[in-house]
A and B are shown apart, each in its own frame.
Chain A
Amino acid sequence: MKPLTSHSTATFRDPAGSLRISQDRVLRTVRREFAEDCLRFLRSEIAQQWIAEGRLVETRVLHEAAGEELELEHEPVFFPTYPWEWTPGQWISAGELTLDFAEQQLAQGRVLRDASPLNVLFRGSSPVFVDVLSTEPRDLEDPLWLAYGQFVRTVLLPLAAYKYLGWPLALSLMHRDGYQPSELYPHLSARSRFRSPLFSQVTLPHLLERRRGSRASPRVRLRSDIALAVQRQKLRQLRKHLHVLAPKFEESNWSRYEQEADHYTIEDRGHKRDFVEHILETARPQHVLDIGANTGEYSRLAAQTGAQVVSWDTDVAASESNWRFAAANRMPILPLIADLARPTPALGWRNAESRSLLDRARGRFDCVLMLGVIHHLLLTDQIPIEEIARLTAELTTRWALLEWIPPSDVRFQELCCRREHLYGGIDEHAFVHSFSQEFALISRRLLGNGRILFLLRRNN
């Protein structure tokens, strides 16, 4: 398996330490002023319990010495993701985990000082909190949670903008610190400005900020038991708001695709499923990338053979449906909203804080599924077939299971639309020839509707 990357610094904004990825190891350096407290937290019963439950990243101490920096190593998460690639359900799940963690920390006399969704990654369909430096001892008489604003800006407001304004959650890639209330306020209708939770999370903060500007705010101190009760009540309120903002599931053309695929007879569909299942059971890949996964029918087949699956699709509703099923059944499937033709770019300082989708994916999978997707790349995105073959070879270390849709297919013709002179000549022979540079043909299955399934093995 190819290393994640060599010697890249993943985070450095945190004054308490930094994280770097070296070969396939995730290493964290904690500054000496924060080392003792970090160790105290990691050795606490609650941290150990969360690690055992898989909700906190497993961490081992590499080096500790009084007055020196602390060196930690985290268990790598197979496929790191960013909130701008998540489905709405994954946002809710990450928000819930953050609030759960904050609540547990309160009970331990600690507080979360950073409540960004970037602290959460997914192992399959399970969220895991990865920033062990996000917690610090709490001033027991302080009822304020300083990361409250960050949680609202980076979790609640993107969900509110998605639910009430239709702004895609993927836009969060342009807003590292989420939305300011003043960015949403002008776009809300007069009525919705008074709707809960928009009134308390957008309207009031916007009006207060406008009136007050950026003047410093005072500290408040309450009796410790009252301060604790206030903090708990605040977390309950945020949880309530998070659930109110959970978008209702809406179908799309793609999320209904499996039921409405009229170009497939029940028999053909069964044959396709049998072929894919047989290949997966024979090859037994460990890491499968399902490109164009739709609602995850074939991702689930791969997961059932014991593979860890990452499913990419451009459709939010289809990916959400995939996520809901995987999460409800605790399947090792990680659905992401991702477009192979326009993959997520590298972002942040020096373009090195958030890695591009392809940088994270290259050589990480031993099997790539591309079922019913190549004709879209070819005709809609106008990617040459040789390019598709080359990128497929970069993504998989061994197997590629592909579906070829011939120019005679009704869907091919719909997408081709008066460009037959450009694409009509790409027949099965041309398709196989394009992939033959990088792959050997192992198996072929012609379906009754003229579509062809290929199992290819990558040349070494």
Chain B
Amino acid sequence: MRIIKARGLLKLIYLFAGIVQIAAIFSAFEKPAYAYVDPGSGYLLLQIAGSMLAGAAFFVRHRLKRMLGLAVDSDSSPPPQSGPIRDEK
């Protein structure tokens, strides 16, 4: 039981380290988001922050459910090893 808990904790640490790393990459290499309408820079930043938090929360919830052996949302596919946030292509 202790080993499982330690593993879970380690995974969470990896996850948040990953998020911080990706956020740092975003700040360093900005690319514009193109839109037909003005997205508004304040709303866009807010959405970015909200998306990262919501994405992380979704990912953690998903992982926790799997670790605890609870049912996982049917519309979510198995999480990849790399974590929820992907780098810009």
Q: Which residues of A contact B (CB under 8 A)?
A: 14-16, 113-116, 141, 143-150, 152-153, 177, 180-181, 200, 204-209, 212-230, 233-234
Separation of A233 and B88 alpha carbons in the complex (Å): 23
- Tell me if B30 and A230 are in contact (CB < 8 A): no
The reply to whether A216 and B85 form a contact with Cβ atoms under 8 Å apart is no
Q: Within the complex, what minimum Cβ distance (angstroms) separates B19 from chain A?
A: 11
User: Could you show 18 A-B contacts with beta carbons less than 8 Å apart?
Assistant: A113-B36, A143-B51, A143-B54, A146-B35, A148-B47, A150-B39, A177-B38, A204-B46, A217-B30, A217-B39, A218-B33, A218-B88, A220-B26, A221-B86, A221-B88, A222-B84, A222-B85, A223-B84
A147 x B30 contact (CB < 8 A): no
> Given A215-B30, A218-B30, A218-B31, are A146 and B85 also a contact pair (CB < 8 Å)?
no
Question: Which of A180, A205, A215 has the largest count of B CB atoms less than 10 A from its CB?
Answer: A205
- A204-B46 Cα distance, complex, nearest whole Å: 8
B15 interface residue, CB < 8 Å from A?
Answer: no
Given contacts A223-B84, A226-B58, contact A217 B37 (CB under 8 A): no
Q: Knowing A217-B48, A222-B51 touch, does A149 contact B39 (C-beta < 8 A)?
A: yes
Contact A220 B40 (CB under 8 A): no
In the assembly, what is the distance between CA of A229 and CA of B77, in Å?
Answer: 12
- What is the chain A residue whose CB lies nearest that of B83? A223
**Contact flag A147-B35 (CB < 8 Å), given A152-B43, A225-B77, A226-B55:** yes
Within 44-86 of B, Cβ neighbours of A (below 8 Å) are at 44-48, 50-52, 54-55, 58-59, 75-77, 79-80, 84-86
On chain A, the residues within 8 Å of B33 by CB distance are: 144, 146, 216-219
Neighbouring B residues of A114 by C-beta, 8 Å: 36-37
Q: Is the CB of A144 within 8 A of B36?
A: no
**With contact pairs A216-B32, A217-B30, A225-B77 given, residues A234 and B50 touching in the complex (Cβ less than 8 Å):** yes
A212 and B45 form a contact (CB under 8 A): yes
Q: A144-B44, A208-B45, A218-B30 are in contact. Are A14 and B36 (CB under 8 A)?
A: yes
CB proximity of A237 to chain B, nearest CB, Å: 8
Q: How many residues of B contact A (CB 8 A)?
A: 39
Contacts of B77 in A (CB 8 A): 223-225
Please name 17 further chain A to chain B contacts, defined as beta carbons within 8 Å, in addition to the given A222-B85, A227-B51, sorted by A numbering. Answer: A14-B36, A144-B44, A144-B47, A145-B47, A146-B33, A146-B36, A149-B43, A153-B40, A180-B40, A204-B42, A204-B46, A208-B45, A208-B46, A217-B33, A217-B41, A227-B55, A234-B50
User: Do residues B38 and A149 form an inter-chain contact, with CB atoms below 8 A?
Assistant: yes
Closest residue on chain B to residue A212 by CB atoms: B41
A177 to B77, alpha carbons, bound, how many Å? Answer: 39
Q: Is the CB of B42 within 8 A of A213?
A: no
In the complex, what distance in Å separates the CA atom of A387 from the CA atom of B32? 56
Given contacts A209-B40, A217-B45, A218-B31, whether A229 and B85 have CB atoms under 8 Å apart is no
A150 to B30, CA, bound (A): 22
Which residue of chain A has its CB nearest to the CB of B28?
A218
Whether A226 lies near B59 (C-beta < 8 A) is yes
State whether A205 and B85 are in contact (beta carbons under 8 Å apart), knowing that A143-B51, A220-B26 are contacts in the complex: no
Contacts of A222 in B (CB 8 A): 51, 55, 84-86
The one of A181, A216, A234 that contacts B42, using a Cβ cutoff of 8 Å: A181
Residues on A with beta carbons closer than 8 Å to the beta carbon of B84 = 222-223, 226
Q: Are B40 and A149 in contact (CB under 8 A)?
A: yes
Instruction: Pick the most buried of B37, B48, B75: most chain A CB atoms within 10 A of its CB.
Output: B37
Whole-angstrom distance from the CB of B33 to the nearest CB of chain A?
5
A220 touches B85 (CB 8 A): yes
**Chain B minimum-CB-distance residue to A133:** B36
* Closest 3 pairs (CB-CB, A-B): A205-B42, A149-B40, A149-B43
> What separation, in Å, do the CA atoms of A227 and B56 have in the docked complex?
11
Q: With A113-B37, A147-B37 as given contacts, are A220 and B51 in contact (CB-CB < 8 Å)?
A: yes
CB distance from B56 to the nearest CB of A (A): 9
Contact partner, B79, options A223, A230, A234, Cβ 8 Å: A223
Q: Which residues of B contact A205 (CB under 8 A)?
A: 40, 42-43, 45-46
Q: How many whole Å from B85's CB to the nearest CB in chain A?
A: 6
Do the beta carbons of B88 and A150 come within 8 Å of each other? no
Q: Is the CB of A221 within 8 A of B87?
A: yes
Whether the Cβ atoms of B43 and A148 lie closer than 8 Å is yes
Question: A220 to B48, alpha carbons, bound, how many Å?
Answer: 7
User: B89 at interface (Cβ–Cβ under 8 A)?
Assistant: yes
Q: Which residue of A is nearest B52, CB measured?
A: A220
A400 to B75, CA, bound (A): 60
List chain A residues, Cβ under 8 A from B88.
218-219, 221
**Nearest-neighbor residue (CB-CB) of A229 within chain B:** B58
- Distance in angstroms from A93 CB to nearest chain B CB is 22
